[in-house]
């Protein structure tokens, strides 16, 4: 999803994940859809003094070895997994949230600016996982390379409607007819 209004994107994602009520309209997930949500603001998830393994174990089935495996895929190793969640950096919190999301085994991921706070190595690992993901991914991002790597359909929300194109991001932003359509949709022409 694209929009000139990042607060609108966050509001949309909160609505489709049941964390906020829509002012108008409605949506309904298909009966076979299971979702995992990566919110923009994750501070509420990290107020306890649990270690990473115990924290992650709250969000899905599995034993300690399994939790360590999920954390390891997000580049946590050794003594790091015993760190208390309430002292994590922004990037570490984001990596924990991604591990939590993977544990949920959903077929639709909803990601609100997922590369915020991640270092290059973490972004690359996350990109590789998403490229191989077999389900749907709904996301917003300011990271051009991330969008180009992951997206094959662009949905742009404008004040005057939606632009929906099945194409890579670079093609979308360079297409002259789409540029013209975007200007009209934003009331700039």
- What residue segments make up the domains of the chain, in order of their start? 6-151
* Structure tokens belonging to residue 16: 């489709």
Backbone angles phi, psi at 37, to 5 degrees: -115, 130
Helix residue ranges per DSSP H, the chain: 6-16, 52-57, 64-73, 90-103, 120-132, 144-150, 169-174, 176-185
- SS3 letters across 105-148: CCCEEEEECCCCCCCHHHHHHHHHHHHHCCCEEEEECCCHHHHH
Residue 177: which pLDDT band, with cuts at 50, 70 and 90? very high
Sign of CA dihedral 56, 98, 34, 41: positive
Q: Say yes or no to pLDDT of 137 above 90.
A: yes
Q: What is the pTM of this model?
A: 0.87
Residue 53 pLDDT greater than 80, yes or no: yes
Tell me the mean pLDDT in the region 98-116.
92
Q: Topology of 6-151 in CATH?
A: Rossmann fold (3.40.50)
Q: How many C-alpha atoms does 49 have within 13 Å on its Cβ side? A: 0
Reference 94, options 109, 112, 69, 68; nearest CA is 112
Residue 48 DSSP label = S
- Between the alpha carbon of residue 53 and those of residues 18, 72, 146, 176, the distances in Å are 27, 11, 28, 50
pLDDT above 80: residue 182 = yes
């Amino acid at each position: 999803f694209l929009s000139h209004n990042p607060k609108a994107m966050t509001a949309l994602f909160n609505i489709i994940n049941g964390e906020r009520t829509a002012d108008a309209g409605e949506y309904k997930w298909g009966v076979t859809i299971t979702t995992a949500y990566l919110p923009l603001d994750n501070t509420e998830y990290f107020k306890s003094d649990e270690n990473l393994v115990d924290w992650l174990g709250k969000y899905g089935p599995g034993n300690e070895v399994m939790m360590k495996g999920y954390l390891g895929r997000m580049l946590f190793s050794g003594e790091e997994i015993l760190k208390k969640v309430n002292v994590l950096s922004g990037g570490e919190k984001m990596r924990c949230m991604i591990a939590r999301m993977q544990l949920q085994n959903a077929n639709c991921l909803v990601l609100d600016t997922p590369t915020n706070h991640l270092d290059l190595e973490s972004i690359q690992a996350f990109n590789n996982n998403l490229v191989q993901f077999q389900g749907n991914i709904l996301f917003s991002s300011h990271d051009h390379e991330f969008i180009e790597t992951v997206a094959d359909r662009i949905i742009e929300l404008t004040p005057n409607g939606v632009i929906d194109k099945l194409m890579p991001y670079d093609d979308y932003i360079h297409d002259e007819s789409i540029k013209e359509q975007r200007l009209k949709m934003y009331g700039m022409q």
